[in-house]
Amino acid sequence: MSILVLAEHDNSALSPATARTVAAALAIGGTIDVLVAGADCGAVADAAARLDGVARVRVADDAAFAHQLAEPVSELVVHLAGDYGHILAPATTTGKSVLPRVAALLDVMQVSDITAVKGPKAFERPVYAGAALQTVEATADTVVVTVRISAFDAVAETGAAPIEPVAFTPAAPKARFVSREAAASEGPELANARIVVSGGRALGSQEQFNAIIKPLADKLGAAIGASRAAVDSGYAPNDWQVGQTGKVVAPDLYVAVGISGAIQHLAGMKNAKVIVAIDKDPDAPIFKLADYGLVGDLFELVPELTESL
Amino acid sequence: MKVLVPVKRVLDANVAVRVKADGSGVDLANLKMSMNPFDEIAVEEAIKLKEAGIAAEIVAVSIGPAQAQDTLRTALAMGADSAILVKTDETIEPLAVAKILKSIVDQQAPDLVIMGKQAIDDDSNQTAQMLAALLGWPQATFASKVVIADGKASVTREVDGGLETLELDLPAVISTDLRLNVPRYASLPNVMKAKKKPLEEIDAASLGISLAPTLRVISTARPPERKPGVMVGSVAELVDKLRNEARII
Ligand SMILES: Cc1cc2nc3c(=O)[nH]c(=O)nc-3n(C[C@H](O)[C@H](O)[C@H](O)COP(=O)(O)OP(=O)(O)OC[C@H]3O[C@@H](n4cnc5c(N)ncnc54)[C@H](O)[C@@H]3O)c2cc1C
């Protein structure tokens, strides 16, 4: 049985999401190929070749894949699909855009956002914002899966797989890339950070969010997250949203500041190893989940915490 | 321009989910059901396009049981012009939903399909992409801004790392993210008016599409509980716990 893993990258660097997706492929078992679709993406292919468990890296290096738009990349994957029993991608915004197209073109269902491998074709996946865990088994010959990256540990990088080019020209595009606006980010990447500090509606403004949350995150070497309310109010960029419909993280330490703990937020962080909550409402649902809860005014407590670290 | 907006009836976002003890699924009996929140955003966006003089007609479509009529009436009360219920009492997988929607698109010939990026029950996030693929149309998922001009859609998308803007030829499929707009409430007069708007019913079985599920659901379980935590009385105690008990900092 062969497995194709679609690499997550920006043409210059391989995202750690790929090493985590390869880990899911290893749990399924089989010969694992990684597909790098991009433009001038040689360094990415080199990095993918170092991932443990990878038998071969296939590289489609073509201007048509420069922005990894869903239409050309899904055509490419479908073109290669005959060689594989499983097709995997990380459940990133790119993977989520590309893989359902692949599934539809192959006339199979996609198994979305798996959190565990239960058998060659059986997977666990959260539904209802993680309020329930479903185990499903695919019955089609080709199994198309997106992988929740926070649920798998990255494979190591000691391999040396061969790299082979793939020549494929997709149809003329009906969707074109116009521009990209990167969210301001220093510090570690949210999806892969060991520590995350998140702020909620209580921060009240972008200025206060930056003045309160950022120094604590800097002190801890943490990535910054936010609730939907904080993002909707413009205190934090959309890319920082943690939750059912934002990023799902499972860091060693998650610090929730002024976040009440709606189920849609919990869906994105409840698998953190240690959860700290700081909120002035002792009845806030976040405290039911927190390992350590501290009740009080965040505008006093958080600077004091930052100071004492 | 004609806009098609698929809407799904789901367990209301504010209702606590109860997993059935025998592992057979989630208990929906007698609980409040509502339009999927992302679909409300899709309906709102279509209405905005109509108010801006860009869209001429909005057709809402739902696939589900007879009660999904309520969901369609909500869309009509918000401002959709007509509605189609593709009736079935079975649970329909996203792939079959996409196939049914394709047949509705073939019949209705819209210039644009706007739909939610995911349903908050199944959380699959795939139907819009599947529909676009089956139609051979371009897609823009996770839209936070939509501008239609000169036969093209300029769509800003919420992606990992920031925002991305794409230009799509029409017809196209757009899936909505949370920040695209704030859906309106239907006013009482509009709820009354919606009762008179056309709502057509089609039997899903009549479309010649296989509706049988291809994913076998083995079990539905409650997620493991976290072990109970403690409240600390001060910042100093918190720091001490993190250093010496959790050993995390
Ligand atoms: C379809 C859908 C999808 C959603 N997806 C997401 C998602 O992905 N992520 C997400 O986060 N949400 C999501 N939500 C929204 C979610 O339901 C909540 O509305 C949101 O998480 C609330 O954010 P919050 O906790 O910051 O705000 P609130 O619920 O308003 O909580 C603010 C908290 O701050 C506390 N507070 C106020 N002032 C202070 C102070 N001075 N000091 C200390 N504490 C203070 C309050 O006691 C309160 O507990 C979604 C909702 C829907 C319907």
Q: What does the pLDDT look like over A201-217, one tens digit per residue?
A: 999 999 999 999 999 99
- Strand residue runs (E) in chain A: 2-6, 31-38, 54-61, 86-90, 110-114, 116-117, 122-127, 132-138, 143-147, 163-165, 175-182, 195-199, 223-226, 253-257, 274-279, 292-295
Task: Give the separation between CA B225 and CA A136, rounded to whole angstroms.
Answer: 21
For A150-177, write each residue's pLDDT tens digit. 999 999 999 999 999 999 999 999 999 9
- Secondary element (H or E) of residue B82: strand B82-87
Going by CA atoms, what residue is nearest to atom 11 of ligand 1?
A227
Residue A184 — pLDDT band, cuts 50, 70, 90?
confident
Ligand 1 touching residue A201 (CB < 6 A): yes
3-state SS, B126-149, equals: CHHHHHHHHHCCCEEEEEEEEEEE
Tally the domains of chain B. Answer: 1
For B111-168, write each residue's pLDDT tens digit. 999 999 999 999 999 999 999 999 999 999 999 999 999 999 999 999 999 999 999 9
Task: Give the separation between CA A113 and CA A140, rounded to whole angstroms.
Answer: 18
| B211 occurs within a structural domain | yes
Residue A187 — pLDDT band, cuts 50, 70, 90?
confident
CA distance B166 to chain A (A): 5
Candidates A128, A130, A270; nearest CB to B26: A128
Yes or no, beta carbons of A94 and B160 under 8 Å apart = yes
For A252-288, write each residue's pLDDT tens digit. 999 999 999 999 999 999 999 999 999 999 999 999 9
Ligand 1 touching residue A238 (CB < 6 A): no
Residue B173 — pLDDT band, cuts 50, 70, 90?
very high
pLDDT at A15 over 90: yes
Q: Which residue of chain B comes nearest to A91, CA vs CA?
A: B125
Yes or no, beta carbons of B141 and A291 under 8 Å apart = no
Mutate to test the interface with B, among A67, A96, A114 (most CBs of B within 10 A): A96
Instruction: Assign residue B21 the CATH number of its domain.
Output: 3.40.50.620
Q: Are A155 and A124 in contact (CB under 8 A)?
A: no
Q: Are A117 and A107 in contact (CB under 8 A)?
A: no
pLDDT at A119 over 80: yes
Domains contained in chain A, CATH given: 2-165 (3.40.50.620), 190-308 (3.40.50.1220)
| B129 occurs within a structural domain | yes
Contacts B97 to A, Cβ<8 Å: none
Yes or no, beta carbons of B138 and A174 under 8 Å apart = yes
Yes or no, beta carbons of B231 and A126 under 8 Å apart = no
Task: Domain of residue B52: give its range.
Answer: 2-244
- Our CA dihedral for B239, B244, B245, B249, rounded to 10 degrees, sits at 60
* ipTM of this complex prediction, to 2 decimal places: 0.96
| B69 occurs within a structural domain | yes
Distance A277 CA to ligand 1 centre (A): 13
Q: Residue A264, annotated ligand binder?
A: yes
| B114 occurs within a structural domain | yes
| B41 occurs within a structural domain | yes
For A79-101, write each residue's pLDDT tens digit. 999 999 999 999 999 999 999 99
pLDDT at A1 over 90: no
Q: How far is CA B116 from the centre of its chain?
A: 3
Q: Are B3 and B110 in contact (CB under 8 A)?
A: yes
Q: Residue A180, annotated ligand binder?
A: no
Q: List the structure tokens of A77.
A: 């994957």
Q: List the structure tokens of A80.
A: 């290669």
For B178-202, write each residue's pLDDT tens digit. 999 999 999 999 999 999 999 999 9
| B249 occurs within a structural domain | no
Task: Give the separation between CA A262 and CA A270, rounded to whole angstroms.
Answer: 11
Q: How far is CA A62 from the centre of its chain?
A: 25
Contacts B180 to A, Cβ<8 Å: none
Distance A224 CA to ligand 1 centre (A): 16
pLDDT at B69 over 90: yes
Contacts B131 to A, Cβ<8 Å: 104
The average confidence (pLDDT) of chain B is: 97
